[in-house]
Amino acid sequence: YPRREMLMVTDGEPPHCEVTPDLVRLVVNVSPGNLKTGLGVMESLVHRATLNQENLDAAAQELPVPDYWTGALDPVSNPRVQLKPDEAQQLYLRVFRPERIVLIVGGRFNAGDAEKAWANRMDSWTVDREPRGYFDNTAPVERTHNPEGVTTIDFVGAPVTADDAAMPARILSLFALGVGKGSSLFRVAREKHAWSYRQDAILSPTQEGWIPRILIACIPTDDVQDRVKAIKADLIDSVASWTPATRERAIGMATAVLAYQVPFSPLYVLGGSPAGNSLEDRTFMAGYWQMKTGKPWDAKALLESMKQVSLDDLKQQASEILTTAIPRVLAAG
């Protein structure tokens, strides 16, 4: 699809791509009458992409520069690679294969139309042996400084698998730890010490599941390691003092997010933020959760599961996150 024709199909909105630790997300938005052609655009992207030197060089110039928050979320600094077309083709053929592609369609379409049309396209896709050429073995570099003039403190917890039976309790514990002004993190890092303006408890994606993280942004300081120790100790003490009111507040915040789409979800399923309430994000979430957990995304069911979490379980989950967390500091660069 030439650029002009592609923009006509998508009503002037070009397809966009996002890479996260667990997936490559391609998005094509079309009107209901352009469903079949839109699926053709998507197939073209995942199966027949044009990878010439001009396109590769242009893409390299458009790589985003992280701000302090996204830089802290992804502290790995990957050296920029000058790809040649044959190298890019080898990588492309290895990543985009029918068995690795999940198509999610949402909107005013007749049920089953997209599935049938996409299946016909997949049936005509001849699958060759996975190419073995071009592996970039360049070791990623861990950042020691934040991309902007902000120091970030990141408590990185133990990984959580996507099939973890304790997932509702873990997510609810993050609501109690660091979502909203009544959370322990807000009261410790911002109100008690006045060390931070932005602070969040989040689940950050990995290939196997997620990692619970407590992320704090603060002004540059020479005593940052002392602050790390103080914040962790204060958070552990705060969790020990949680009451039934703490649990009710966490459930209230979870209800606001899952039932009323208030944008404070700790599920950072996109590059640097949770999914929103747009049709595009809701469509993505439906397929993403199925892909990760093997279960349909059901916000109401997840919320009901959270309501069954006892105060003792809530405190236990939060304590485990904090006690196993490894602090990572990116000093202001």
Using one digit for the tens of pLDDT, what is the confidence trace for 33-76?
A: 899 999 999 999 999 998 999 999 998 888 888 899 999 999 98
* Helices 224-240, 311-324: inter-axial angle, 10-degree rounding: 160
Over pLDDT 70: what percentage of the chain?
A: 100
Supply the pLDDT for residue 203: 94
Tell me the mean pLDDT in the region 222-229: 96
Query: To the nearest whole number, what is the mean pLDDT of the chain?
Result: 92
pTM attached to this predicted model: 0.91
Angle, helices 167-178/299-307, rounded to nearest 10 degrees: 80
Question: Burial, 261: exposed, middle or buried (Cβ in 10 Å; 0-12, 13-18, 19+)?
Answer: middle
3-state DSSP assignment of residue 29: coil
Q: What is the pLDDT of residue 258?
A: 94
For residue 150, which of 196, 111, 114, 118 has the smallest C-alpha distance? 196
Instruction: Round to whole Å and give the CA distance between 174 and 188.
Output: 15
238 in Cβ contact with 184 (< 8 Å):
yes
**d(C-alpha 197, C-alpha 186), whole Å:** 9
The structure tokens 């300081």 sit at: 221
For residue 312, what pLDDT band results from cuts at 50, 70 and 90?
very high
Q: Which two tokens stand for residue 78?
A: 């990957």
- Rounded to an integer, the average pLDDT of 278-306 is 93
Q: What is the pLDDT of residue 163?
A: 86
**Confidence bin at 84 (pLDDT 50/70/90):** very high
Token output for 315: 């405190």
| pLDDT higher than threshold 80 for residue 137 | no
Say whether 145 sits in a helix, a strand or coil. Answer: strand
Q: Give residue-wise pLDDT tens across range 92-122.
A: 999 999 989 999 999 999 989 999 999 999 9
